[in-house]
Amino acid sequence: MASLKEIKDRINSVNGIMKITSAMKLVASSKLRKAQNAIGNLLPYQRQIHHILADLLAGEAEAGELYITQRPLKKVAIVAFASNTSLCGAFNSNAVRHFTEAVERYTKAGLGKKDIMVFAIGRKMEDAAKKMGFTPEGDYTHLADKPTYEEACVLAGQLMELFTTKEVDKIELIYTHCKSTATQIPVNETYLPVSLDSSLHESEEHHGISDFIVEPDMNSLLETLLPKVLLLKIYATVLDANAAEHAARMMAMQLATDNGNQLLDEIRIQYNKQRQQEITNELQDIIGGTLA
């Protein structure tokens, strides 16, 4: 049986760990609020520009063919999001699992590893891609930790160039959507080519078709608007994945703190029982010596 000193040391150890988890929870909560504010500021603009794009594409404009053309699948690019650090529950393991499933899906379709380009956002995803035999394109660890509009522009520009120059025939995004603080949903969606059906469906469902006056002409506007929408999509995805990471870390640290409190209660009960047993033993020794 453990001595009182050993139990006290264990209590102090658990208290120290709980201080760390509580502090990490507060930090993650603060970062989550900032990420949610950034997304909240971006979404109205993104939805409106997406609405305009969908209505213009409904006008049978010929522009935008570079981004909407469906081609036979010979080479794909996967943009997969995870975090740089651990201690965020199953966030990274789930992200890696969905990335692995996507790779297996393309492999079954007849593509080899040389036909799959991987853009790993976050050190954990980069490590997982390397273990699977891929060489990630570029270094995006900073984008996963502190997403900025400028870095998102660079990534979006690279992806659009790959598709428009026909180096890849499809670009897929794999990330975790922050539905709420307690719920994060894995998402697989096609970034390029742009799906007109989904765009028009969303526009008609939420906004209805608008009668825009376009100057100088619809094709010129689409040539400028389509890259803008695609850029905003990458930036919104990066912010969403970042918010999901902070939400997962906050919940993991909350759970760790709760488990620490429960463990502390059990250790204190053990300490009191041990202390009571030692007092009883001392009293028995005193009484036995007196009687002797």
Domains and CATH numbers, the chain: 4-26+252-284 (1.10.287), 31-251 (3.40.1380.10)
Tell which residue, 30, 22, 48, 3, has the closest CA to residue 247. Answer: 30
Assigned token pair, 259: 């488990």
Q: Which of the four pLDDT bands, split at 50, 70 and 90, describes residue 24? A: very high
- CA 55 vs CA 2, 200, 207, 210, 279: distances in Å: 73, 7, 10, 7, 82
Q: What is the mean pLDDT of residues 117-140?
A: 92
pLDDT tops 90 at residue 227: no
What local confidence, expressed as pLDDT, does residue 66 receive?
78
Assigned token pair, 162: 């790959």
Assigned token pair, 119: 């853009």
**Distance separating alpha carbons of residues 47 and 263, to the nearest angstrom:** 47
What local confidence, expressed as pLDDT, does residue 216 receive?
75
* Strands in the chain per DSSP E: 76-81, 116-121, 170-178, 184-192
Tell which residue, 135, 115, 22, 35, has the closest CA to residue 83. Answer: 35
Q: Which residues pair with 116 in a beta bridge?
A: 76
Share of the chain above pLDDT 90, in %: 47
Comparing 148-152, 176-180, 229-233, 286-290, which segment has the lowest mean pLDDT?
286-290
pLDDT tops 60 at residue 200: no
Comparing 121-135, 142-156, 188-202, which segment has the lowest mean pLDDT?
188-202
Determine how β-strand 76-81 pairs with β-strand 170-178: parallel
Q: What is the mean pLDDT of residues 97-113?
A: 92
